[in-house]
């Protein structure tokens, strides 16, 4: 009895004898010889999350504020090699929401504070953040930083 099968090697459909032993899994000898000892390709996983699912707590609060104020914005907007938290196209404005711990809020941390998660001092973190923001500004964007502790 002939049944329709899908070739494990190339994915083409073919008709095979259901009583054939060994069970035919390739549509031709050529396809079988190319795929001997080769693992079948893994199916591509679809990203099952939305960008808003990946927002940090402070970003989510600010996101909700923008929604409430009915402001048109983009999340995780890419500018050259940087991704910024929020971009407001109408104003050509970038908004970065800085976590107090991850960006070492100067109101809470001394310059010599060593952030073990980042493996650098608060001063080095501030220098990096400053250079990054200056680069984004040099590309013509207005930049605003909002600290986690300033979000209500």
Evaluate whether 2 touches 15 at the Cβ level (below 8 Å).
Answer: yes
Task: Give yes or no for residue 132 having a pLDDT over 80.
Answer: yes
Residues 6+ apart with CB under 8 A from 119: none
pLDDT tens digits, one per residue of 101-115:
999 999 999 999 999
Query: In the structure encoding, which two tokens stand for residue 50, read together?
Result: 């939305």
pLDDT band of residue 3 (cuts 50, 70, 90) is: confident
Tell me: the pLDDT tens digits for 22-74?
Answer: 667 766 776 766 666 556 566 666 554 567 778 899 999 999 999 999 999 99
Identify the three-state secondary structure at position 41. coil
Report strand pairing: 120-121 vs 114-115.
antiparallel
Helix, coil or strand: residue 25: coil
With a cut of 80, say whether residue 8 has pLDDT above it: no
Average model confidence (pLDDT) across the chain: 86
Q: Above pLDDT 70, what percent of the chain?
A: 81
In this predicted structure, what is the pLDDT of residue 145?
97
- Domains in the chain, CATH or no CATH each: 2-34 (no CATH), 51-150 (3.40.960.10)
Q: Are strands 74-79 and 142-147 parallel, antiparallel or unpaired?
A: unpaired
Residue 2: pLDDT band with limits 50, 70, 90:
confident
* DSSP E strand boundaries for the chain: 2-6, 13-17, 74-79, 82-88, 93-98, 114-115, 120-121, 142-147
């Amino acid at each position: 009895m002939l049944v329709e099968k899908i070739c494990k090697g190339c994915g083409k459909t073919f008709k095979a004898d259901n009583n054939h032993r060994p069970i035919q899994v390739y549509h031709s000898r050529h396809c079988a010889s190319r795929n001997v000892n080769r693992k079948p390709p893994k199916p591509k996983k679809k990203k099952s999350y939305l960008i808003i699912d990946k927002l940090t707590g402070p970003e989510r609060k600010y996101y909700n504020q923008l929604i409430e104020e009915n402001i048109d914005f983009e999340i995780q907007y890419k500018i050259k090699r940087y991704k910024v938290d929020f971009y407001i196209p109408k104003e050509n404005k970038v908004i970065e929401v800085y976590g107090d711990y991850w960006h070492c809020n100067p109101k809470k941390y001394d310059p010599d504070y060593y952030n073990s998660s980042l493996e650098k001092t608060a001063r080095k973190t501030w220098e990096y953040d400053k250079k990054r923001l200056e680069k984004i500004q040099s590309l013509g964007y207005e930049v605003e930083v909002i600290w986690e502790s300033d979000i209500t």
